[in-house]
Chain A
Amino acid sequence: MTTDAPRTLFDKVWDSHVVERLPDGTCILYIDRHLVHEVTSPQAFEGLRMAGRRVRRPDATVAVADHNVPTEARDRPIEEPESRLQVATLEENVHAFGVPYIPVRDVRQGIVHVIGPELGISLPGTTIVCGDSHTSTHGALGALAFGIGTSEVEHVLATQTLLQKPAKNMLVRVDGRLPAGTTAKDMVLAIIGRIGTAGGTGHVIEYAGEAVRALDMAGRLTVCNMSIEAGARAGMIAPDETTFAYLRGRPHAPQGQAFQEAVAWWRTLPSDPGAHYDRTVVLDAAEIAPMVTWGTSPEAVVPITGSVPDPEAAPDEAQRAQMRRMLDYMDLRPGQRMQDVAVDVVFIGSCTNSRIEDLRAAADVVRGRRVADGVRAMVVPGSGLVKQAAEQEGLDRIFREAGFEWREAGCSMCLGMNPDKLKPGQRCASTSNRNFEGRQGPGGRTHLLSPAMAAAAAVTGRLSDVREIAGREMA
């Protein structure tokens, strides 16, 4: 083992999980935590059944339904037959295979990437997988967390391992401090704007630097969540006092003396001085402004003070064609100011931005204001526990009184697998992570932005610079 050479956070977590290195360099990698949801698991359980296999470690596995569940009327059966079947299938499978399950009506139900950290299931230095690309979220705790396909879900269920080759190391350092009105979401959108949606392919990104260290856990989760939008296999942030304070006392985290022992090991995880990165990108936090996407790829992003770019200025014909296609789909013109773009729907939710801190940031902007006429605005908390906490703080009242819908936890309009969908042609300011064509509903148009910016769009009816709306509070 290369214990002498300086290692990165990723190297350390990787090395401590290698069960066996096969002759060609492929590793059997041990998985500590396997999160299961209803959309990508049915065929995996079916595969186990057909091969007569069991789940090797139910005690390292936890299941929850989040993608399909309606965000209202939870006391009634799911109306949509295919969604109902998928949730029922999950329930049958967890029962048959003895996998711990959080039922739809349990207060702890929520988006898998929100509840993992919230319940202390996701821990530093562990390997975490889920049949969902945004598993990268959990890397914010200093875990190696990545999304897998259904065949790999079956592989982990059967063997508690995966066949993997190590990724390359990439360092994204954000120096300095984020300006007022600018958030973790703006930071990660700026990073993706810089390196592109394939910029991290084959790499695990470690986020570091003063601005990253200064983020609270919610902000770190937001940044790591969108690592996959930069093409990276995973995103990670070294665990520190912020991480430990966040985890202490969470129900599934180690308790008491065990917690102290865990912290002692977690402190050894941050990258060694002089560790090698295959690629390094440095950003200056002071230059980051509130960001908003204009196209159908997360890299198609500009500061809110900017305007829609001109395809004719792109360097080659393929790019020009792609930009024209995006503008056509988004119904935008080159040179149009982002702040002049009117929205029909505002969605505050998704595993990127549906934690209590996100809801507080949005509520701060909404407080004492009204949702603009003709705009449908909704808040979908990331979990039942987030919803409960928000209600205890009175955030639900602020949203409701302003004219927002206040809904039950789930993925909701992030991908429109449940009834929460955009109608064709509708334009949405969304705190989610993907603005692909049809992502929020066929023909729907998505602008990605932060919770505070989404709130600003809700009260003005157009994409707006939150620094102007909330000028007083932020001065």
Chain B
Amino acid sequence: MDKFTTLTAVAAPLPLANVDTDKIIPARFLKTIKRSGLGVHLFDTLRYDADGAERPDFVLNREPYRGAQILIAHENFGCGSSREHAPWALLDFGIRCVIAPDFADIFYNNCFKNGILPVRLPRDVCDALMGDAALGGNARLTVDLQRQVVVRPNGEEIGFEIDPFRRHSLLEGLDDIGQTLAHAASIDGYEAARAKARPWLPAIDAV
């Protein structure tokens, strides 16, 4: 996983609430067995018309937002399915940070596993940042995870909260599995104790 430290980039405003995972990447694109290549289908129904042509009014089809690495949206971003194809599609397009008032739990979690930083900021702040983003290519935002601030084009800094464990993993680009396996002895111990305490729990052998 790529580290996330500081990002200065064009931000795309997407002033919609409840952007669900079917909107981020419709189910028909989930048939892949790979993680890459989903970027062209990101926001498919918003981005393309029925004939597959780009809708010129959709933000990611316009300059400078085609190169956006930050996305700003409204409440409950990423609701719906657990598909990690949603963050994979964002990442493949180039988005490394999503800013919204709040996120659906599974999506929020999935972002961290893929080096994407989800930033929760109040609705009025998101609206102000969308205003900045609407100014175009010269109005870049900076997201500094080390200092936990978003820096507006006018230099104003806005602090955000983030779980320390997740912040650390993202800053260092650490793999969760490796971190957990460092506790393998505890897992062994738990399994042994549980086999005594709840011996009735059957193994799922051949089905």
A: which residues have CB within 8 A of B? 19-20, 22, 24, 26, 28, 30, 32-33, 39-40, 42-43, 46, 51, 53, 56, 59-62, 67-68, 82-83, 85-86, 89, 100-102, 108, 119, 121, 123, 126, 131-133, 135, 147-152, 154-155, 158-161, 163, 165, 197-198, 201-202, 228, 231, 233, 252-254, 258-259, 261-262, 265, 297, 318, 322, 415-417, 424, 434, 436-439, 442-443
Contacts and interface: CB of A to CB of B under 8 A. Distances in A.
A24 B200 contact: no
A67 B85 CA distance: 15
Contact of A322 (B18, B87, B176): B18
Contacts of A100: 204-207
B79 A163 contact: no
Contacts of A436: 20, 22-23, 80
22 contacts: A19-B187, A40-B83, A59-B203, A59-B204, A61-B204, A62-B204, A68-B31, A121-B204, A133-B80, A147-B81, A154-B177, A163-B180, A198-B75, A201-B105, A233-B106, A252-B207, A254-B200, A254-B201, A254-B202, A417-B30, A437-B23, A442-B28
A132 B84 CA distance: 10
A438 B45 contact: yes
A164 B84 CA distance: 17
A365 B110 CA distance: 43
Contacts of A201: 76, 102, 104-105
B17 interface: yes
Given A30-B191, A82-B31, A198-B75, 4 more contacts: A83-B31, A149-B113, A233-B105, A415-B27
A85 B34 CA distance: 12
B186 A442 contact: no
B69 to A, nearest CB: 21
B141 to A, nearest CB: 22
Contact of A46 (B17, B33, B163): B33
Contacts of B50: 424, 442-443
Contacts of A132: 81-82
B17 A322 contact: yes
Contact of B34 (A40, A43, A439): A43
B33 A43 contact: yes
B26 to A, nearest CB: 5
A157 B34 CA distance: 18
Nearest to B180: A159
B114 interface: yes
A161 B204 contact: no
Interface of B: 15-18, 20, 22-23, 26-28, 30-35, 45, 50, 74-76, 79-84, 87, 102, 104-106, 109-110, 113-114, 163-165, 176-177, 179-181, 183-184, 186-187, 189-191, 194, 198-207
A145 B130 CA distance: 37
Contacts of A149: 82-84, 87, 106, 109-110, 113
A315 to B, nearest CB: 13
A417 B27 contact: yes
B26 A131 contact: no
A463 B58 CA distance: 34
Question: Which 7 A-B pairs have CB atoms at the shortest separation, nearest pair first?
Answer: A151-B113, A42-B33, A82-B31, A59-B203, A149-B84, A149-B110, A147-B82
Nearest to A86: B31
A396 B76 CA distance: 41
B171 to A, nearest CB: 14
Nearest to A414: B27
Given A155-B180, A158-B177, A159-B180, A30 B190 contact: yes
A272 B187 CA distance: 29
Contact of B183 (A19, A61, A82): A19
A269 B81 CA distance: 29
A61 B16 CA distance: 39
B180 A102 contact: no
B201 A32 contact: yes
Contacts of B186: 19-20, 28
B76 A198 contact: yes
B15 to A, nearest CB: 7
Contact of A417 (B28, B177, B187, B204): B28
Chain A CB within 10 Å — which of B28, B35, B190, B204 has the most? Answer: B204
A197 B74 CA distance: 14
Contacts of B164: 24
A419 to B, nearest CB: 11
Nearest to B175: A51
A442 B186 CA distance: 48
Contacts of B23: 436-437
